[in-house]
Amino acid sequence: MAGAGVVVTVSPATGGRHDDRRLKRRTMVRRVGRFSRLARASLSVLMLALPAGCAGSRPPERESQTTVPAVPTTSFTGRWTKLAGVCPTLTGATAASVGRTGAGKPGPGNVDTPVAQIVNCTWGEGEKSVGVLLSLNRSDGPLPADQATAQQFQRFFDRYVADGSTVYWKPEPALEDKAYLSIHKDRVTIKLSILSSNAEFTVYYQVAELERSAWDDALAEHREILRGLAADVLDDLR
């Protein structure tokens, strides 16, 4: 399969069936770990946007320029104050349809301070696994928190497109302040990135490997799943 990083070899002595089974097992093992690595990479970037001294363990890949002030303020401009719980709780019909209900498993780098909250959670592994990476700004600085979040959201999205991490994307209309539906370069992860006032988050959903010709159809096929999962995250914002 082109782009899968797997070379298929068939032994003339044993025939192709045994090698095909081994190939499938190797491919499954690689895909199981890929989803959590993707979340950790995105998380390390968010952590760089925290003021010095606020970060715990360092997890996703964002640029070092921060929109969060070095000196926290006691008030902020924005709609949201926190996520209710360590992870979102998936309770909707969409989550039930893909077998990913309940609270997620917290990943590395979760942070909750007076100035910011960062949440990294996953539900399951392999196909139909779900991940959520959320950043909530609770501090006005040179810019109000909601404006700073909007700038950060667009800057990071543009960066991922420019560096090839996002290989295909479309605006997703009528969803909070701004949203994008996209495909990650691993070709098995579909993402829905959402800006909502002073919070931004991405929902990750893993599918079978996508050929280039199927990208547009894949976004159309899975967009309601991503939107349904995102609705559960929005329900848990307070």
Rama region for 15: left / alpha / beta (φ>0; ψ in -120 to 50; rest): left
Query: Does 140 reside within a domain?
Result: yes
Query: Does 153 reside within a domain?
Result: yes
pLDDT for position 32: 42
Query: 78 with 198: CB under 8 angstroms?
Result: yes
Query: 76 with 144: CB under 8 angstroms?
Result: yes
Q: What is the pLDDT along the chain (238 residues), one digit of tens a residue?
A: 333 332 222 233 334 444 444 444 444 434 445 555 565 556 555 544 544 333 332 233 333 333 444 444 558 999 999 999 999 999 999 999 999 999 999 998 899 999 999 999 999 999 999 999 999 999 999 999 999 999 999 999 999 999 999 999 999 999 999 999 999 999 999 999 999 999 999 999 999 999 999 999 999 999 999 999 999 999 999 9
Cβ count within 10 A of residue 116: 25
Q: Which pTM value belongs to this model?
A: 0.75
pLDDT for position 187: 97
Query: Does 13 reside within a domain?
Result: no
Query: 118 with 134: CB under 8 angstroms?
Result: yes
pLDDT for position 225: 98
Radius of gyration of the chain from its Cα atoms, rounded to whole angstroms: 19
DSSP 209: P
Please give the tally of structural domains in the chain: 1
Query: Does 184 reside within a domain?
Result: yes
Nearest to 193 by CA among 184, 202, 182: 202
What sign does the dihedral 178-233-35-45 (CA atoms) show? positive
Distance of CA 217 to the CA centre of its chain: 20
Nearest to 153 by CA among 75, 26, 42, 16: 42
pLDDT for position 113: 94
pLDDT for position 62: 34
What kind and span of H or E run contains 203? strand 199-206
Give the domain extent around 98. Answer: 24-235
Query: Does 8 reside within a domain?
Result: no
Query: Does 33 reside within a domain?
Result: yes
pLDDT for position 26: 43
Query: Does 111 reside within a domain?
Result: yes
Query: Does 116 reside within a domain?
Result: yes
